[in-house]
Amino acid sequence: MNELETRFAYDIKNKSSDIFQTPNIAVDYLLPYIQKNHHVVWESACGNFMIKDYLIEKGYSVYGTDIIDGIDFFKYEPEFSYDVQITNPPYSLKDDWLERSYKLGKPFALLLPVNSLHSVRRCKMFREYGLQLIIPPRRINFITPTGDGTGAWFPVMWFCWKLDIDKDINFVL
């Protein structure tokens, strides 16, 4: 079994409902909003390396970590300097992921379902820290362990903080 097959087998065994690997188009929607000084990226849930590899292809320096490699995002203190965290985190952990991301104090862009806008806990965080949104024009066809190509049944958007974006709500055309 190659590395990607091993990762997908791990994914299916350990929470396949959280496994939505990110195609390049989702990152393309974000890139115009990443400032030129944000060139070192931490991809903190790199899964099958799709975001990491694409950002490297686009000229960014990227550090990738993932639980499959024994790196627990909630306990890990990066041993490298980074400018921005860009990732598509496990959706079942979105509240904790957002909270940890805010507490790290660095700019971030997290690809989350649109319905992540509401919950008491998240609303408190958004009010306290702030939030900017980058909203794609259509649903993303994620790569899933089933590989059926049907994509997600839910829309997503980039939840961002400290990216120095001119507007808080940004619709991508």
Q: How many CA atoms lie within 13 A of 97 on its CB side?
A: 23
pLDDT tens column, 26-74: 999 999 999 777 789 999 999 888 999 999 999 999 999 998 788 899 9
pTM given for the model: 0.87
Domain boundaries, the chain: 3-171
Alpha helices in 58-167 (DSSP H): 94-104, 120-129
**What's the CATH code, domain 3-171?**
3.40.50.150
- pLDDT (tens digit, 9 = 90+) per residue, 83-122? 999 999 998 899 999 999 999 999 999 999 999 998 999 9
